[in-house]
Structure 1
Amino acid sequence: MPLISIKDVDLVNKCVFIRCDFNVPQDEFGNISDDRRIKSAIPTIKYCLDNDARVILASHLGRPKEISDKHSLKPVAKRLSKLLGTEVIMANDIIGEDAQNKAKNLKKGEILLLENLRFIKGETKNDEDLAKSLASMCDVYCNDAFGVCHRAHSSVEAITRFAKEICAGFLLQKEFNFAQDLLKSPARPFVAVVGGSKVSGKLQALHNLLPKVDKIIIGGGMAFTFLKANGLNIGNSIVEEELIEDAKQIMQTAKELGVKLYLPVDVLAAQSFSNDSVVKKVSVQEIPNGWMGLDIGPASSILFKEILSDAQTIWWNGPMGVFEFDKFSKGSFKMSHYISDSYATSVAGGGDTADVINRAGDADDFSFISTGGGASLELIEGKELPAIKPLILKEEY
């Protein structure tokens, strides 16, 4: 299912509206701490400039409840200007007088960045009036914001109904194609590594992956629901009681399909969710009452390394523990090292997984790191993403 590519559209002397994903992390002083998403948008932006187009960029940042400097895209404009080596004009609003005037006066090769789309409440409600206003500013709409493609928002879904021409940018095409190819024809053995705090967020992905993979490693907080389903006492560890039967079903289906499913054999346990708490290394059979597992233990790390040793394709989504605390980050960092050191095609979901990989210093050694955690997961689940559906190239007969 190919997408309508930006290369399929004539951009010469046209105004191109590129929906980007500049939802980047910032430190306490408002400085951008990871500009990977900004850099990912550059190939599409440069292609438009090379084709004598005028460029309008739009994105969201965070989840603002009101207009604030904290959520302004001004730092993004500054960083993007530096990366491109050319000025990025910043609008003070989205569809207001300032943005409209600056858009009308754009010259060939110039770039305008609108303010945070979520400063307008209609954005997340897929408001058609907002979509019409955004579409009226351009000749061509280009979606290059994979990270929000699982959301039906005005700037990614409704706008496709009003824009004169629509297409997908290079990043979106790359993300979409990687997910499609991963499930269609992976080199084997194919190992899925699934972590994170809750089973509920990954349940459909697990069901969809089972017939396609050779091995599944389950770590992170979600592992405790499976461990409890096996009759183990997990102390105060996180658990989704209502999904214990689902966990049993997943383990049974894996057995029937001949898929090897692995759970942690030991954990780092503590009495409180804190970096200052006393830590114990215990087997999963010996988690004390009142204690909770917050990371996989050293024996689990060795086991998982051995499981990954013959993998030819690895898909990883979700950390192995509470990696935000140094005490409980070793399991996730070791997993990152093992996967990056392997000779397998290594594909990682975005969000926390990408954060772990960057902190571990392994980003350059992964085959592909998605820019969108939720969107990546939903593609793996086999879902149809609302913002991608309009961009699928219809076959002609």
Structure 2
Amino acid sequence: MTTTTDDYFMAGGGPNITALPKVSLHDHLDGGLRPQTIVELADAVGLELPETDSDALGQWFEEQSNSGSLVEYLKTFDITTGVMQTSDGLVRVAREFVQDLADDGVIYGEIRWAPEQHLTRGLSLDETVEAVQEGIEAGIADVAAQGGSIRIGQLVSAMRHADRALEIAELAVRHRGNGVVGFDIAGPEAGFAPSRHRAAFDYLASKFFPATVHAGEADGLQSITSALIDGRALRLGHGVRLAEDIQVEREDDEGTYVTLGALSQWVKDREIVLETSPSSNLQTGAIEAWGDDILDHPFDLLYQLGFRVTVNTDNRLMSGTSLSRELAILSDAFGYDLVDLETFQLNAAAGAFLPLEDREDLADAISAGFEQA
């Protein structure tokens, strides 16, 4: 391996979170580059950077991402996608991405990215998918050579403000035997409802191909409703603003009393996975209706009410984070113990875009790892 991940521990001590087996469902390829890799790839393609020292560049990404606006947050991706326009660049980024996930204790990860954003230097859509898969397979081999094991799937995303969703959906299905496990729409949420891409989602449904949809991050309940109805979403990317459909009646020493709206009740009853990303949700203002601190995040409310919550990084570079760090942050904020952290991983395993038998095996591996902690 060429990189290491800091160890993180639960509040008040406890097991090493980094060593625990984990599942990552919401992690963007263009949001997880190593700063040094950006520096080297930018030099090779002649891309100007705001900082040429890797440490300073990493700090720049974090500072630029703390805007409180998803639109401003997304502007940092001009740089990362800028160095991912060649086959070699895509292979390297994907390979290192897998290495970094394994160093963080991830045993199954889904990497989402938008092929249509990587065509400026002559690659075709199919060539970009093939390059990323080549990098993924090289990364898996690197992990195996170090005595580890990791499984990775691609989530192919269409940009929701563009008009290529059907074409990208067809691309995803075309590569379902070459590492692609699901479909997503990403990019600016407000004003670009999933209903705009109904034809793509109809096509995916006809091919029995699963979709997760970014919803409930920069837009509210209408966006989530459209993700479920128009997008047939099996998971919600972030989904935190679903809490807008939960009315807190009162809180006292005996607990919190709430009333669920029809939408939130449906999501809970159907066990639709929420792909929350705590640090990112703070950076983009997704939880501003409740506050600007991790303690204000509706994650704990959703968890205590029985929603199928998962913990994710979204963009490790922009948030300066890892999955272990996100779990440690939540543990510190809400007093979670090992049982809670295991529940989050089992929720993620249940929502993974894998065959049922593979999800059961993944759950068994998680439980075995937590028992040894």
Does the TM-score normalized on the shorter chain lie above 0.5? Answer: no
Work out which of the two has the higher radius of gyration on C-alpha atoms and give 1 or 2. 1
TM, length-normalised to structure 1: 0.28
Q: TM-score if structure 2 supplies the norm length?
A: 0.30
> Using CA pairs below 8 Å that are at least 6 residues apart, which structure has the higher relative contact order?
2
